[in-house]
Chains A and B, each alone.
Chain A
Amino acid sequence: MRRRALITAVAAAGLGLAAPAVHAQSSAARTLRFVPQAGLASLDPIWGTQYVVRNAAALVWDMLYGVDSRFRPQPQMAEGHMVSDDGRVWTIRLREGLRFHDGEPVRGEDVVASLERWMVRDPMGQMVRALRQDLAAPDDRTIRLALSAPYPKLLHALGKQSAPCAFIMPERLARTDPFTPIAEAVGSGPMRFRADLWEPGRRAVFERFPRYQPRPEPADWLAGGKRIEVETIEWQAMPDPDAAAAAVASGEVDWLEAVLPDLAPGLKRNRSVSVGIADPMGSIGSLRFNHLHPPFDDVRVRRAVAMALDQHDYMRAVIGADDVLWRRIPSFFTPDTPLYAETGGEILSGPRDPEGARRLIAEAGRQGSEVVLLKATDLAPLKAMAEVSETLLAALGFRVEVAAMSWGEVAERRARKDPPSQGGWNLFHTWHAGADCATPAAYSAIRANGEDAWFGWPRDEAIERAVAEWFAAEDIATERAAVARLNEASMAFMTWVPTGLFLSYQAWRRNVAGIGKGPMPFFWGVSKA
């Protein structure tokens, strides 16, 4: 008997109190207690696109298709599909017997309404929307999408893991404006959301949906049979990483989605806890330039920064001494994924050349320029990277003004196109999930389409041409060639500078089995003894 259990029993007996809630072993095994990366404050995966919302939504809602660990879209709610010879008409058939958590059957009209809402918010969805001639449900199990031109990446768009995912909702919810949150969380996924037990930002409870019909194939990321091995999954948000690590060490929770590198050694020494890499694709650090204003409107200046920048410095600042958790990447894409390319990446992998960088800046006539660096002080990786950049930029002769603020303020200020001296900016740091950088599909940061581009508003025709080639590619060889060209063009234009790939640990109690690695926590197949 654990010491605390004994104390609890004695205290209850001694004080003559009601029996404490000591759960039976079987009851405890039915509930998986999970600590997510952040508290769940909303549950509309189209309205809010934060990762934590996407991760919870994947329990509640299902998708027509789902990508597997090779980024191949596999049928999920769909039984299958047919494409017309000209590649413009897609007919998708739903599996039989699919039901929402309120008991209503999943109908073609639900799918149509859900896709229409998703198309407004998702970059790939917007491409489909631009091509759409007709989207309708001829019967309850059929969806027909007619396009004005072929769109070979449609299944990828419908099954991708990056937010917002194409989750299927009941029509009555899916008709909600995409910029307004839905009123309730009713899906057809493997778990039912217990709204009555929800404490926003702190606790969210999911209950196994007994009428869910998993596919027969083994689960693989968002594809295959999503078999839930526990009755309840309870998300308990813990903003303090020390408290979370202590909670898993003492057995008060079962699984931590993220563990600070500093706390991992202590957990590794605990014989009741396993520690492992959460997502081998990790995150790619980014130094993002504003292309609208000097000095980074000049490609020579952007390349000069890349020539001098050492990813080792950035990753040591972010991760510390644990070299397992980072690697250099002379690429904008995620290593060990099918399309990974390093073409043109020599500027990041070769010897660092600060002297050459200074010469290039002088050649551009931008030596001594004043630059405004936005520094998010409440997110440790971003703060660390900004501090390295401050030193680097000063060493290159820039006069650096560091604007320290919260990430929320950075998110607001980076949208401003004003000159840096009038409330704008020159540089900020962020990171991109490695899984989102495996293909150009949902990789907004790689685009260089000017006004429509992500913050910094880069414009480059070679990059956009390569992106278009990838979207048009119908086989993996063509896709690889397009991505190689895209990487080369992006390195030449230096849209932004990758500062390295970093990973994080997750931790779980040894009585929990089936925890995998991936871009999000996959709960299917996870069991607890």
Chain B
Amino acid sequence: MLAYVVRRVLATIPVMLVVAFFVFSLLYLAPGDPAAVIAGDQATPQDVERIRASLGLDRPFLIRFGEWLWRILQGDLGVSIFTNLPVSHMIAQRIEPTTALMIITITLAIAVAVPLGVVAAWKAGSWIDRAVMAFAVFGFSVPVFVTGYLLAYVFALELDWLPVQGYTPLSQGFWPFLENLILPALALGSVYIALIARITRATMLEVLAQDYIRTAKAKGLGSRGILFLHALKNAAVPISTVIGIGIALLIGGAVVTESVFAIPGLGRLTVDAILRRDYPVIQGVVLLFSFVYVLVNLAIDLLYTVFDPRIRY
């Protein structure tokens, strides 16, 4: 097992190199010019050209890529074109809100979606099942920003229960931290809840039709025992796969959610950097997200062995 983990971790290196190459190439090929943004609307083409030269953007692709890669290998993500601050510093400033939002959203989604899916499967065909599936269709169909605006309007503006926007670090108290994340987590989690609930239901239906479940029932085992000890554990592998895939959805959704609720996270940092063509920041954030995604996949693979002892690496 340990050898497998080491092998997988080492395998992330070529993956990250390929990601780095594609990220750099795409940004190189993408139209847009940070020098023009910096220079402002009144600047002359000559001013723009001089800024471009001072940023080193007029140098050949291979030289720029080689220098960037060399720095990355040394753990240096570079310096933002606009802020003149290290990219690692900017990421460190923004990582807490995004991490907090994602953890709360995942926790909320699993806590709500898995029981909903299990109950829907157990009561398949009943009004409970239909209600859960109707909720799932709604959650999956309505865009995050619409859910976000609706939640903010009702719970923040009309009822005045929660703040409209912003983020308070955990260091300033748990409740101020939490109250800023409840609505964003609900908005972002709605899609995720719908996805996990549907997969849980489908997988559970399949498992509940297996012979060993019928045997368990024949032995007189209670519903709770059958559902959670036998069925859910056997359904856990595909569910955990979907949760892993959903992390990618969360990263994409966080970009929108952070904009709607003015949360200063990595999603907003990415959007701002793209709009300004702040290449080092875009490259740094995309590399980070890719690395997280690779690690999440590894964690999910390792979880399989917990849920199904027959799986061996």
Contact = CB atoms under 8 A, between A and B. Distances in A.
Most chain B CB atoms below 10 A, which of A250, A413, A430, A432: A250
Interface stretch (A47-55, A68-76, A299-307): A47-55
A121 B166 CA distance: 37
Contacts of B159: 3
Interface in A32-71: 39, 41-42, 47-50
Interface stretch (A177-185, A211-219, A344-352, A481-489): A177-185
B85 A11 contact: no
A239 interface: yes
Contact of B272 (A21, A41, A249): A41
A466 B20 CA distance: 54
A378 B275 contact: yes
Contact of A452 (B34, B44, B80, B278): B44
A39 B272 contact: yes
Interface residues of B, number: 61
A363 interface: no
B262 A199 contact: no
Nearest to A184: B84
A18 interface: yes
B39 interface: yes
Contacts, number: 169
Contacts of A415: 36, 45, 48
A118 B44 CA distance: 15
A202 interface: yes
A454 B47 CA distance: 11
B89 to A, nearest CB: 9
Contacts of B33: 408, 411-412
A4 B36 contact: no
B165 interface: yes
Interface string A430-458: 10100010000010100000001011000
Given A42-B83, A162-B42, A452-B44, A243 B164 contact: yes
Given A199-B264, A243-B152, A163 B40 contact: yes
A156 B39 CA distance: 22
By size class, the interface of chain A is 35 or more
B221 interface: no
A238 interface: yes
Contacts of A430: 41
B32 A201 contact: no
Interface stretch (B5-13, B127-135, B174-182, B295-303): B174-182
A35 B156 CA distance: 19
Given A4-B162, A243-B261, 16 more contacts: A18-B174, A41-B82, A49-B39, A50-B38, A163-B40, A180-B54, A181-B84, A201-B272, A202-B264, A246-B156, A250-B156, A406-B32, A408-B31, A408-B32, A454-B44, A455-B45
Interface of A: 2-4, 7-8, 11-12, 15, 17-21, 39, 41-42, 47-50, 121, 123, 162-163, 177, 179-181, 183, 199-203, 236, 238-240, 242-244, 246-247, 249-250, 252, 378, 405-406, 408-409, 411-413, 415, 430, 432, 436, 442, 444, 452, 454-455
7 contacts: A20-B173, A20-B175, A41-B276, A47-B51, A180-B54, A409-B31, A444-B44
